[in-house]
Amino acid sequence: MMVIFCFRKPFGMLLVLSFLLLPLSCVTTENIRTAKQKTPSATIYNAKDMSAAVEIKPMTPQAVSLPEKGPLKTTVKDAILIALENNRSLTVERLNPSIQQTFEDQERAVFDPTIEAEVSAQRNDSQSQTRSGSDTESSVNDVYHGSISLKEFFPSGTFVEADAITERTDSSLYNEAFSSTRLGLSVTQPLLRGYGTDVNLAQLRQSQLETNITQYELRGFSESLLAQVETTCWDYALSQRRIEIVEESLKLTRQQIAETEEMIRVGTMAEAELAAVQAEVAAQQQDLINAKSALESTRLLLLRLLNPPGQTLWYRDIDLVHLPALPEIKLDAVGAHVAVAMKMRPEINQAKLSIQQEDLEIVYTKNGLLPRMDLFITLGKTGYADSFSGSVSNITGDSHDAMVGLNFEYPIFNREAKAQHRRALLRRDQAEIALDNLKQLIELDVRKAYIEINRTKEQISAGTATLKFQKEKLRIEIEKFRVGLSTNFFVAQAQRDLLASRINEVQAVVNYLKALNNFYRLEGSLLKRRGIIAPGCDPVEYSINRNSQTYSSQTEN
């Protein structure tokens, strides 16, 4: 339904009314530029400050020298820096925030001013009835039209259009041409649906929140990568040490074969005793083959993670400078670590931002429940003359037009808007329940990882004690063998037990380091503990008033 009022004399009153609407629009334009500061989120990166890829770097700048050829000599700490700089999967992930930010610019473009221009020429060759009505006459009309307009949509919902139109008509029926020039201003202001910055900036703010979500996703990926690099380094060191232990044990077993052969030769031992020690040599050779194969596979995986420069990636050896050592770490109570995880885990912060997106969707769909009622005002001044310059000069004359009216629209059942709003409410409730479920799962992960740390730490001392007793057991069996009170079978069994204990001792240390690594990752503090700066370091804090369906948030530093 449209209600229109046309005026001639109260032109000044409508002009004043139009300019009263304009300041509201111009002031709210500032909201487009400050929407980021008003968006409920954590640290937000300005488009001018964000490069093509988000930086992930150490707090203290460190240079790592990487030769393009030869063995790659590195520490675990340097391996982390190399991976953060060169890992291809991370390079791909680092582009996501910048890609998502282009959607922000796309949403912001809705409020960009638009210039339109049109030039046309038209000729009409027609016949019309003469004034006497007894005959027809031919006429040729040439119409030249030109227009230019500036349009802009403001966050308040106001739509403003200023235009200039000129038209020249040259008809064979008249001796002179006729020109007109009009300057116009049109303002449309929604009064119900579409009114206000909350609804008109909702999609822009949702897009900004999505950019922040990609930053927390990047942080989670970076922590997983860092944990994988550390774990692979420890596995590589363990494989190297395993080879050394098996080779040392194999050397002793071969000495045992030599002693057995000598005793058989002099007749102090039956030849059947040789089979047991030969079987042990064969078993240890199998262990050595498996250890070398594991080392090679781990080397390839580590090279893939580090991706050092050079053309011979898969053929480079890796030399870890520092082997696994037991760190002196005292953990707090498990509840304190759970509290840290509730703030720092990227998944928690992503879920909180998703809830805020649903809050914005509620604001948007709630406004859609209202009927559309728009106030529009159109003003114009027109000059007429026989030439373009004359029509421009005469535009200050008395000829003018003015129109004000209301445009009303409301679907009788409004089912679509109601369905969208109800869906937004349900999704918001679902997001809250999902957040509670996620918190429970994360707390479970942290508590289980805490138990694993204590288990692996106790296994270290238990493994050391076992190794001590296995060494003594082998020494006794060898002494008994040399005096004829034992057999090669029992000696070989003692050697096998000692070999397993030596490997288990190193494995216990590596398992403890890996358990710490996994615990810090599940806690969400791994990057910070390793001195790495990455997006999403600030936890998202928010509070919600569901009755008014508004929200507020702040970033905890």
Q: What percent of the chain has pLDDT over 70?
A: 84
**CA separation for the pair 510, 421 (Å, rounded):** 54
474 shares its domain with 519: yes
Please give the structure tokens belonging to residue 253.
């077993």
In a domain, 171, yes or no: yes
In a domain, 418, yes or no: no
- What per-residue confidence (pLDDT) applies to 59? 67
Reported as a single tens digit per residue, the pLDDT across 408-420 is: 999 999 999 999 9
Reported as a single tens digit per residue, the pLDDT across 161-186 is: 999 999 998 887 777 788 899 999 99
453 shares its domain with 331: yes
148 shares its domain with 245: no
Kindly tell me the burial class for residue 208, based on how many C-beta atoms sit within 10 Å of its own C-beta (0-12, 13-18, 19 or more).
buried
HSE, CB side, 13 Å, CA atoms: give it for residue 199.
Answer: 18
Reported as a single tens digit per residue, the pLDDT across 465-507 is: 888 888 888 888 878 877 777 777 777 788 788 888 888 888 8
318-320/72-74 β-pairing? parallel
Higher-confidence position of 472 and 70:
472
Please give the structure tokens belonging to residue 371.
């009927």
Based on its alpha-carbon atoms, the radius of gyration of the chain, rounded to whole angstroms, reads 40
In a domain, 85, yes or no: no
Q: Compute the CA torsion angle 506, 448, 462, 503 (nearest 10 deg).
A: -20
Confidence of residue 407 (pLDDT cuts 50, 70, 90): very high
Q: With contact defined as beta carbons under 8 Å apart, do 502 and 242 qualify?
A: no
Confidence of residue 444 (pLDDT cuts 50, 70, 90): very high
Which H helix or E strand runs over 10? none
235 shares its domain with 314: yes
- What per-residue confidence (pLDDT) applies to 470? 81
In a domain, 84, yes or no: no
170 shares its domain with 235: no
387 shares its domain with 486: no
Confidence of residue 133 (pLDDT cuts 50, 70, 90): low
Nearest to 487 by CA among 247, 263, 249: 263
Q: With contact defined as beta carbons under 8 Å apart, do 382 and 182 qualify?
A: yes
Number of domains into which the chain is organized: 2
Q: With contact defined as beta carbons under 8 Å apart, do 180 and 167 qualify?
A: yes
315 shares its domain with 333: yes
Confidence of residue 550 (pLDDT cuts 50, 70, 90): very low
* Helix extents (H) in 267-333: 274-306
Please give the structure tokens belonging to residue 110.
């809705």
**CA separation for the pair 548, 544 (Å, rounded):** 9
Higher-confidence position of 175 and 92:
92
- What per-residue confidence (pLDDT) applies to 484? 75
> Could you tell me where the beta strands, DSSP code E, fall in 315-355?
318-320
**CA separation for the pair 450, 443 (Å, rounded):** 10
Residue position matching structure tokens 């232990």: 245
Is 200 a residue whose pLDDT tops 50?
yes
* Helix extents (H) in 113-201: 197-200
Reported as a single tens digit per residue, the pLDDT across 353-404 is: 999 999 999 999 999 999 999 999 999 999 988 888 888 888 888 888 999 9
In a domain, 309, yes or no: yes
401 shares its domain with 434: no
390 shares its domain with 435: no
Residue 285: CATH number of its domain: 1.20.1600.10
Kindly tell me the burial class for residue 424, based on how many C-beta atoms sit within 10 Å of its own C-beta (0-12, 13-18, 19 or more).
buried
> Could you tell me where the beta strands, DSSP code E, fall in 250-362?
318-320
> Could you tell me where the beta strands, DSSP code E, fall in 177-216?
178-190
Please give the structure tokens belonging to residue 408.
């009303």
Enumerate the β-bridge partners of residue 383. Answer: 181
**CA separation for the pair 305, 225 (Å, rounded):** 8
344 shares its domain with 377: no
**CA separation for the pair 379, 11 (Å, rounded):** 8
Kindly tell me the burial class for residue 98, based on how many C-beta atoms sit within 10 Å of its own C-beta (0-12, 13-18, 19 or more).
middle
432 shares its domain with 299: yes
Among 384, 409, 434, the domain-final residue is 409
Reported as a single tens digit per residue, the pLDDT across 265-282 is: 777 777 777 887 788 888
In a domain, 79, yes or no: no
296 shares its domain with 330: yes
- The lowest-confidence range among 40-44, 94-98, 206-210, 256-260 is 40-44
CA 481 from centre of chain: 66
Kindly tell me the burial class for residue 60, based on how many C-beta atoms sit within 10 Å of its own C-beta (0-12, 13-18, 19 or more).
exposed
Range of the domain at 381: 1-38+118-153+158-193+373-409
Q: With contact defined as beta carbons under 8 Å apart, do 404 and 14 qualify?
A: yes
| Mean pLDDT calculated for residue range 246-255 | 83
- Number of H helices and E strands in the chain, helices first, is 14, 13
In a domain, 74, yes or no: no
- The lowest-confidence range among 69-83, 96-110, 450-464, 518-532 is 69-83
Amino acid at 85: E
In a domain, 24, yes or no: yes
φ, ψ (nearest 5 deg) of residue 176: -120, 155
